Structure 1
Amino acid sequence: MAEPSTATVPKRRFGAGFWRLWTATSISGLGDGVRIFALSVYAATVSSDPVEVSMVAVAGQLPWVLVGPFSGTLIDHLDRWRMLWICDVARAVVLAGFVSAIVGDRVTITVLAATAFLLSSIETMADNLSQAVVPDVAGSHSLDSANSKLLTGRLVTMEFLGAPVGTALFATAHLLPFGLATVCFALSALLVFGVRPASGRTAADEGRVTLRLLGSQTGEAVVWLWRHPLLRTVCVMAGLLNFAVLAVMGVAVLYALHVLHVSETVYGLLLLVIAVGGLAGLTLAPKLIAGLGRGRVLQLSLGICPFVFVLGGITSQPLIAAVVFAFAGISVALVNVVTTTLRQALIPPDRFGRINGAYRLVINGLSPLGGLAGGLTADRFGLRAPFFLAAVVLAGVTCAALPLLSNRRIGHVPDQDARPGHEDAGSPAAPTGKDGE
């Protein structure tokens, strides 16, 4: 078997541009974590109507499906580094306006929902941009290593710091967490401002952008993705992983309270275990990929899931459930690192935004369907049933992944310098290496 291209990872340090991007991403992650938590809690203080409160959460999720694909296409026509700091400035402005609404006592469910929608709409573009510019500052380093560091920084600030910091500040004064988030995005903008990669790649297209053009190019991106055998496979696989995980997480609180018989506090600790697993997966990802190859890491990540979810479905022990959640976090983290690198390596740079947007449309479209399926399954068959549903789905994905996502097929995917850049929109770059193993 051919050795994967990630077998040797350069030991040189990342440059200043990368660390400015890492710091900005981590700081904006804190801003996102604080504001997402604070918005949901604020909604509960404004209204006791479950439907009204849920509207805020729904408003925060809709942009990933309604706005994400088109914002991805838009960034292919703009200077990505400039747009990255503009997105942070825009989020700071929106939050500053929300803080003024708090001061003026004008916060309603409608204001909360509108704020959540605007911030998530900008986030769809900012997240796409942050992935698009990584190859510009990774230099000679492995993209797997660069993505691992960036995802780790954001996970720590968003998941580990966001909720507790947001809780403490919100309890002191409602405007404090939003004030902090405003400062975070302003600092992130300052860090990114002026960064210019040595390669000079901005992937900007100065042509006139119209709604018709955005629509047609977004459609072309969906077709490109579907016609690319490897990225299509990875996209469906990652989407079904999200579907399975959300099927479980959608009823996780009820599972914890009524199957594991633990308190709300312990349930919070179980959620923290998922984040710890994710952190472990992100930390281990570069070494595992270097030693095993991207294909085998994907296979192992998926192959573990059916067993751990079955274990979660049959256990009533909180410690065993914690192990299940930890492995779920590890698997998702490893898959995120590998699939992000594959997109950066295989998608033509001038069309990364729109094709990455199409990819994320599938991922984010399947996630809520997983939550709905988990809820319906639990209602019909009990709170353990979603774990078995997830296990069945991922067992099927694993069987398909064994031949389709092998090292022989993925191992020779270029890291960054040899990325395709001149293919026709409807003719995907063929993956290097032979299919199957």
Structure 2
Amino acid sequence: MSRIGEWIAPRRLGPDFRWLLASSWTSNIGDGIALAASPLLIASLTSSPLLVAAGAAMQFLPWLLFGLFAGAVADRYDRRTLVMLANGSRAVVVAGLVGFLVTGQATVGIVLAVAFLYGTAEVFADTAGSTLLPMIVRGADLGVGNARLQAGFLVGNQLAGPPLGAFLFAAGAFWPFLVQILCVTLAVLLIARIARTTKSDDDAPVTVRGGRPIREGLRWLRGNPPVRTLVVIILVFNVTWAAPWSILVLYATERLGMGPVGFGALTTASAIGGIAATVAFGWLERRLSFATLMRVCLTLEVLMHLGFAVTTVPAVALAIMVGFGAYAFVWATISTTVRQRLVPLPLQGRIAAVNMVGVFGGLVIGQLLGGILAQSFGITAPWWFAFAGSAITLVVIWRSISAIAAAPPAADAPR
């Protein structure tokens, strides 16, 4: 294996990790293509802001409706098979959309229905997929494994996929979705090569008395302070984060005067920061404790909300966005790694699902608050809300971070 290949997928993580990584990166490219092509398609079919916004809402609604159930399913059945079935379902749904586009029968209603069905399949694919890494690598390697998976999300979903999706859409409305089908299908074939996955039932059992699977997971979470606190932190910080991000396009065009191209540059700057953090993560993990890194990341988020609130200079905003992308990548990698280390394998799906419901629930609440605050008090009001809310939260949970990072791993965690 070349030096670059060894850095991307270290040999010590094993061949199963390489298949998982290749599948994840391929799927993220397809999702990134759809990230740009889907809103372009809806906008080409309607000028209604409500319907355009409804397309975006389809990304969140399935998580709120089916997230907990998907977690219970992931803990009951073979997780690799679930990922393959869910991704296969996504390919079939998009193939139906391509059929409507080719025949000229596509309508906004059909596109929204496809988005909902696709999002539902994605809930099951992502929930089951999030449990695979702890099953195939040692606990000591979860950090680097999550970092490489996050890198694929940054490059495929945020950096390379969207411009490719826009380019393909310009060539023909069905082209980006056809390429997406190919990406998702390839992801299924790659995940099929993983050898070491088993039913959760075959793992060491977790005894939680009296209750259905979802209730058992929630009861375990309630009785585990480190993981419970981590989920609450993620929920609250997603509320404060989503409030200003919901009006980012208005902030970029009206306050910074950057125009549509400048708005795109802001999102690209975030991805660049994340990629830089990908390169530095191994160095950071070796030299700093997780507790220190978690505190630094959350402190930077507080300060960067303040920076956005006060600046009117585009160059400063771009620099802040690069920093945001960097610490957001580190935080996402560490928080996922800590959760995977602390949760027993038979509960990985349910606790991951609770975490994701918190993420998307926080996004929905934050976006609503951001719109209301901007409408009532001006464009910078959501940033001031984010600064104050995240600062207060950080003060409250500051001491708890040490307990979260130092908590002993689950008894059946990979060594």
TM-score calculated relative to the size of structure 1 = 0.86
What amino acid maps onto 1:255 in structure 2?
Y
Deviation at 1:204, TM superposition (A): 4.5
Q: Which residue of 2 aligns with 1:30?
A: 29
Q: Which residue of 1 aligns with 2:346?
A: 350
Q: What pairs up with 1:277-288 in 2 under 5 angstroms?
A: 277-288=273-284
CA contact (8 A) 1:225 1:359 kept: no
Deviation at 1:355, TM superposition (A): 1.9
Structure 1 CA distance for aligned equivalents of residues 51 and 404 of structure 2 = 48
| Structure 2 residue corresponding to 1:255, chosen from 232, 251, 254 | 251
Structure 1 CA distance for aligned equivalents of residues 286 and 60 of structure 2 = 35
Q: Which residue of 2 aligns with 1:170?
A: 169
Q: Which residue of 2 aligns with 1:134?
A: 133
* SS class of match (1:32): helix
Q: What pairs up with 1:11-410 in 2 under 5 angstroms?
A: 13-139=12-138, 141-197=140-196, 201-204=198-201, 216-406=212-402, 409-410=404-405
What amino acid maps onto 2:26 in structure 1?
I
Is there any run of 5+ residues in structure 2 with no aligned partner, and where? Answer: 1-8, 204-210
| Structure 2 residue corresponding to 1:411, chosen from 377, 402, 406 | 406
* SS class of match (1:77): coil
Query: Are residues 89 and 12 of structure 1, via their aligned partners in 2, closer, same or farther at CA, if it must alter by over 3 Å?
Result: closer
CA contact (8 A) 2:13 2:141 kept: no
Deviation at 1:369, TM superposition (A): 0.8
Structure 2 CA distance for aligned equivalents of residues 136 and 352 of structure 1 = 10
Deviation at 1:52, TM superposition (A): 2.0
Structure 2 CA distance for aligned equivalents of residues 344 and 94 of structure 1 = 31
Structure 2 CA distance for aligned equivalents of residues 223 and 363 of structure 1 = 19
TM-score calculated relative to the size of structure 2 = 0.91
Query: Are residues 366 and 412 of structure 1, via their aligned partners in 2, closer, same or farther at CA, if it must alter by over 3 Å?
Result: closer
Deviation at 1:35, TM superposition (A): 1.7
CA contact (8 A) 1:247 1:370 kept: yes
Q: Which residue of 2 aligns with 1:435?
A: none
Is there any run of 5+ residues in structure 1 with no aligned partner, and where? Answer: 1-9, 207-214, 421-437
Deviation at 1:264, TM superposition (A): 0.9
Query: Are residues 239 and 331 of structure 1, via their aligned partners in 2, closer, same or farther at CA, if it must alter by over 3 Å?
Result: farther
CA contact (8 A) 2:274 2:325 kept: yes
Deviation at 1:419, TM superposition (A): 2.4
What amino acid maps onto 1:104 in structure 2?
T
Query: Are residues 417 and 378 of structure 1, via their aligned partners in 2, closer, same or farther at CA, if it must alter by over 3 Å?
Result: same
Of stretches 176-185 and 89-98 in structure 1, the one that deviates more from structure 2 is 89-98
What amino acid maps onto 2:405 in structure 1?
I
Structure 2 CA distance for aligned equivalents of residues 205 and 142 of structure 1 = 23
User: Cα deviation per residue 1:207-246 (whole Å; 9 max; x = unaligned)?
Assistant: xxxxxxxx93223322322332111111111122221221
* SS class of match (2:280): helix
Deviation at 1:268, TM superposition (A): 0.7
Structure 2 CA distance for aligned equivalents of residues 205 and 107 of structure 1 = 45
User: Cα deviation per residue 1:372-427 (whole Å; 9 max; x = unaligned)?
Assistant: 11121112221112111111111112212321002x6523543x87529xxxxxxx
CA contact (8 A) 1:294 1:338 kept: yes
Structure 1 CA distance for aligned equivalents of residues 385 and 74 of structure 2 = 38
Deviation at 1:140, TM superposition (A): 6.9
Structure 2 CA distance for aligned equivalents of residues 261 and 16 of structure 1 = 49
* SS class of match (2:104): coil
What amino acid maps onto 1:62 in structure 2?
L
What amino acid maps onto 1:291 in structure 2?
R
Q: Which structure shows the bigger proportion of residues in helix conformation? A: 2
Deviation at 1:276, TM superposition (A): 1.6
User: Cα deviation per residue 1:180-226 (whole Å; 9 max; x = unaligned)?
Assistant: 000001111111114212xx5431479xxxxxxxx932233223223
User: Cα deviation per residue 1:48-88 (whole Å; 9 max; x = unaligned)?
Assistant: 12222222222232011111111111111111111122222
What amino acid maps onto 1:158 in structure 2?
N
